[in-house]
Every structure is written in structure tokens, then in C-alpha cells.
Amino acid sequence: MTLAEQFTALDNLLYATRQYWQCTAFDYDELPWTSLSAPLAQLSDNDVAKLDSDQDALYRFFSPLIEGVEQLPKLSALSAAQAKRTDYPFWISNGIKGRKFEQLQDFVAALGVPTEPVLEWCAGKGHLGRMLAYNKAPKVHSIELQQHLCEQGQHSAQQQGLAMKFSQADVLTDDVAHYFETQQHAVALHACGALHQSFMQQACSAQTQQISLSPCCYHLFTDDMYEAMSELAKCSKLNMRHRDLKLALQETVTAPSRVAKVRKTEVEWRLGFDAMRKEITGSTTYVSVPSVNKAVFSDSFKSFCAWAADKKALEIPQDIDYEYFLLKGQVRKKVTERIELVRHVFRRAIEVWLVLDRALYLQQQGYQVTVNTFCEKQLTPRNILIKARLPI
């Protein structure tokens, strides 16, 4: 299957099944799909959590229930890069946490031997660039917004005698086109949304020989309505919005149980407050309350409601029954989690759709393009690598 064929098949399937994922769980008091009510009601909270952390089990559970799901594993599949990790001296990995270092080792291995000068986009402290410089890339130029990260990166590179320089720049507002060259390998690891999109566009304009990127946070720094990059995706009827793009990021490595517990309380309290607000105001739509320091959720539901009411300019009557609304929140959370579970069946497919849009855009610009996974998803669920090269 070509990338274009894979994209078209995925696009058709996502369009046919959009009622299951193109929705906002908080909008519903009850499950919006009657055919799924019985099977979802049979799941305990523990079953929901287990299914949610195992994408293959999710596909198996929903294949007999939603037409088309049985095709998702094949259409979202990407082959692994199969490159062998190399070892580095301890001083290269200093200051890089375990999983991140393994992720970087796999990413660097999948890029192949660096023969061209490297442009490293949204570099942070330039860990990736330092590893490429250590692997004998002729030189590395790292671009980063935060001055202190540039300084720290430059300091490490100097101490380690690596051919690397940093430039501080805001890649969205500064003139950065001149950093791209033809004889260059432009790399971007986990540059968010518009940061990697403008990277791709500028690298193509400069006819940069090689472009490699692992995209993430597809919605960031972009308009709510998704603007497709490739001609094929421009013809799609999906009309993706931020809400849908965020779904692509929801395959996470399981959060530690303490974090999960706070998150559970947070969702229950937010939904309980929402039920209270609806009752007081007569409104029927969900209104979000801003994010807040998690410490708030170790206090009481009553104090959370006082804080939220202040944010929403709502007056809570003295005799309100907090227990009643807390219970409503707990019941609604069960509904929300089950809607989210159904949406999660499609999360990887949406990410692959977004990645293929980028890959097809690069093909359109004359590049030979491959799309692979570069590491296990336990190291990072954002494990997709797009590699593009101009034909010689």
C-alpha cells in the first residue's frame, strides 16, 4: 500500500465512523450510542482502565460492535525502523533522564549515519544535536527559543569538544529561513504543531537535502480548524478541530497511580460542579472551568465549588446539597470515561492520518518519504519518524 492509498483508506474509515470519535464526552449526560449501552454497561471501572491502556485489546473489544474497527490495526500500522541502538559514553547522557535517553538513542539510530551538516529545530538543550555531533555530523546548528537552554547546550557542547552552535530564535515570528541550506539534514524531534509545520515548509522552500521529524502536539500554535498540508488531505471531509487533534495524543504511557487518583477526583468534581451550575442557571451545555493547581483536589468538593463559582461568577445558594452534586459528578464520570474509551479506539488512526498528511505534503514537494516508528511506545507514544530525502 502506498502512503496515499493508506491515507485515503484511513480517511474513508474515519469519515464513516466519525460519530464515535468526533464528539466531546463532557457534552453528554448519557451515552450517545444506544447500540453500545449494554456492552459498555457491563464493563467495570477497572475493565475500562485496562482496555484503555491496551490498544490491541480495544480493537478486539470494539470490532464486533462498530463496523470498520476491524480494519484499524492494519490501516494504522507503521513498520518499525529496525535500527540498532549504539552506545555512548556516560558524559553524553549526563542530565538526560533514562527513558528520554533511550528514545534519543533510537531516534539517532533511525536517522542513519550523519553525513550532512545538521540543523536541529526547537532543540531544547540540544541533546539530539550533541549525539549527532558525537557521531561525526560535520557540524550541528541548533535553534531554540529559550536563551538559557541555548546557553546550557552551548556550554555542554564546548566542554565536550563537539562541533555545535546554538542560535536563539522564535521560529514562528523571527526570520529563520536563512538557517536552512540545501546541503543539510534538518531534524526536528517533538517540535509541537505549527513549529514542525513551518519547519517542513521552510526546509522544502530551501530544497534541504534531508528532512527528518517526529511530530507532536498537532494542535499547538494553530487555528482551531485544522489546515491540511497535502492536496489529498485538503479534499478530506473530516473537518478536524483541536478537539480531534488532541485525541491523537491520548495514547499515553499509564500515569502513576497517585496521578491517576487525583485525575479521577478532578473529573468527578468538575462534572459535579457542572451539574450544580446547570441546575442553578438552567443552562444545558457543559462549560469548562480553567485548569488549576492539583493541590486544590486534596481539599474538599465544597471548596472546589467555591473556587469554580468565583471563576464563573456564579452564586451558590447557602442550602445547596453538595453530596447530591458530588454523586452526580461520580455518575457522569462513568459516562464520560466510557465515551472516551470509544473515542480512544480511533486515537492512533487519527495520529497516523495527521502524520500521513505531512508525509504526503513532503512527497508533493518532490521528496522520497518513509514513515516508521523509531522506538517502542513505552519510551514515548509519539514514536513516529517521517524521513524525507530529495532524489539524487
Ligand X SMILES: C[S@@+](CC[C@H](N)C(=O)[O-])C[C@H]1O[C@@H](n2cnc3c(N)ncnc32)[C@H](O)[C@@H]1O
Which residue ranges make up the site for ligand X (CB under 6 A)? 122-124, 127-128, 144-146, 149, 170-172, 189-191, 195
Name which of 65 and 220 has its Cβ closer to ligand X. Answer: 220
Say which DSSP state 226 is in: -
Report the amino acid identity of residue 253.
V
Q: How far is the CB of 80 from ligand X (least distance, A)?
A: 20
Distance CA 30, CA 330 (A): 13
Measuring CA to CA, which residue among 222, 230, 168, 224 is closest to residue 195? 222
Q: Which residues pair with 385 in a beta bridge?
A: 372
Cβ closest to ligand X, residue 3 vs residue 162: 162
Determine contact, residues 191/199, Cβ cutoff 8 Å: yes
- If the CB atoms of residues 122 and 360 are measured against ligand X, the closer one turns out to be 122
What is the distance between the alpha carbons of residues 24 and 21, in angstroms, rounded to a whole number? Answer: 8
CB nearer ligand X, residue 127 or residue 332: 127
Counting Cα atoms < 13 Å in the Cβ hemisphere of 89 gives 5
Beta carbon nearer to ligand X, 220 or 331: 220
Q: Which residue has the cell 513498520?
A: 79
Give me the least distance between CB of 227 and ligand X, in Å please.
Answer: 18
- Identify the DSSP state of 66: S
CB of 179 to ligand X, least distance (A): 11
Q: What is the largest CA-CA distance in the chain?
A: 76
**End-to-end CA, the chain:** 24
Q: Name the amino acid, one letter, at 237.
A: K
Residue 171 or 349 with smaller CB distance to ligand X:
171
Query: Shortest approach of ligand X to residue 18 CB, angstroms?
Result: 30
Nearer to ligand X, 14 or 128 (CB): 128
Distance in Å, CB of 142 to ligand X, minimum:
9
Backbone angles phi, psi at 121, to 5 degrees: -95, 135
In the complex, least distance from residue 365 CB atom to ligand X, rounded to whole angstroms: 22
What is the C-alpha separation between 205 and 300, in angstroms, rounded? Answer: 56
Task: For ligand X, give the closer residue by CB, 172 or 235.
Answer: 172
Q: Cβ(353)–Cβ(11) under 8 Å?
A: yes
Residue located via cell numbers 527528518? 212
Which candidate, 346, 343, 364, places its Cα nearest to that of 233?
Answer: 364
CB of 124 to ligand X, least distance (A): 3
Amino acid type, 274: D
Q: Which is nearer to ligand X, 191 or 354 (CB)?
A: 191
Q: Kindly report the backbone phi and psi dihedral angles of residue 184, in degrees, each rounded to the nearest multiple of 5, phi listed first.
A: -160, 155
**How far is it, in rounded angstroms, from Cα 183 to Cα 203?**
11
Q: How far is the CB of 98 from ligand X (least distance, A)?
A: 14
User: Shortest distance, CB of residue 381 to ligand X, whole angstroms?
Assistant: 14
